[in-house]
Amino acid sequence: MNQSNQPAIELRHVSCRFISPDGKATVALRDFSMSVAKGEFVAIVGPTGCGKSTTLSMITGLLKPTTGEVRVMGQPVDGIDPRIGFVFQADAVFPWRSVLDNVAAGPLYRGRSKSAAYDEAQSWLRRVGLDKFGKHYPHQLSGGMRKRVALAQTFINKPEILLMDEPFSALDMQTRTLMQDELLQLWSANAGSVVFVTHDLEEAIALADRVFVLTARPATLKKVYEIDLPRPRITSEIRYHPRFIEISRDIWHDLREEVQIG
């Protein structure tokens, strides 16, 4: 396959089975396939405990599938890949480091000189509206501000793939909407692929190019929805688009069946 149209991520007939210490088996995923194009924004929704986080863990290489194959940029996943960035619900910021030190950590780790790393970190803080907070420590910031630090800390590494596991679910509604718009802006400038796991169907539709709906556990793919809403999107406004309402109704119909089973 031509390198340019090769998917960024591919899961081929993947299953994942956990064995607990008392010998009980849990099948989290069963014959699950998905493909994410370069630059595509994909959201995954499904009932609680179906296997969404497990899917992300397999893409990171932290977890090996029991059967099937996971490929990143055409190659089988083998250990932690520096091209992949993560943002999770819990902030992955170092509490003992200042905001600026947190954001500069990535480029320093990659061998950039101290002055280049700090210049870059300062410019990222400006981009996320935190340029006056570089000397603060994470505990001195609000939840939304800490999330901005996490985004700057991730995007500074220009990830080709960004995995997000309910990154905004702990935020209040208004902050959450602002963060969704910031994420869309950062993503459109970065051109990487995003896999975004969420419980919030509206969040999935507002952000994504495609929404993957998973079944109750053991999860497999129930349906993929193309989100043919215009871009650029303002997430608080796109919710009133007639097409948005139509898509929400269709996906909720599918999801409700699975939530009831789960």
Ligand X SMILES: Nc1ncnc2c1ncn2[C@@H]1O[C@H](COP(=O)(O)OP(=O)(O)OP(=O)(O)O)[C@@H](O)[C@H]1O
The residues binding ligand X (CB under 6 A) are 18, 20, 26, 28, 46, 48-54, 217
| Nearest-approach distance from CB 52 to ligand X, in angstroms | 4
- Any alpha helices (H) in 61-142, and if so which ranges? 99-109, 114-127
Identity of the residue, 55 or 193, whose beta carbon is nearer to ligand X in the bound complex:
55
| Nearest-approach distance from CB 24 to ligand X, in angstroms | 9
Identity of the residue, 15 or 102, whose beta carbon is nearer to ligand X in the bound complex:
15
Question: Per the structure block, which two tokens stand in for 38?
Answer: 């370069």
Identity of the residue, 106 or 218, whose beta carbon is nearer to ligand X in the bound complex:
218
| Nearest-approach distance from CB 57 to ligand X, in angstroms | 7
| Nearest-approach distance from CB 170 to ligand X, in angstroms | 13
What is the side-by-side strand order in the sheet with 84-88? 84-88, 161-165, 193-197, 41-45, 210-214, 221-226
| Nearest-approach distance from CB 20 to ligand X, in angstroms | 5
Residue with tokens 């871009």: 231
Query: Please, which residues bridge with residue 15 across strands?
Result: 67
**Nearest 5°: CA angle at 99, between 94 and 104?**
85
Residue type, 11: L
18 alpha carbon, distance to own chain's centre: 23
- Contact between 9 and 193 under an 8 Å Cβ cutoff? The reply is yes
Identity of the residue, 52 or 222, whose beta carbon is nearer to ligand X in the bound complex:
52
- Angstrom distance (rounded) from CA 150 to CA 92: 7
Residue with tokens 């994410």: 36
Identity of the residue, 28 or 104, whose beta carbon is nearer to ligand X in the bound complex:
28
Identity of the residue, 4 or 20, whose beta carbon is nearer to ligand X in the bound complex:
20
Overall size of the chain counted in residues: 262
| Nearest-approach distance from CB 16 to ligand X, in angstroms | 8
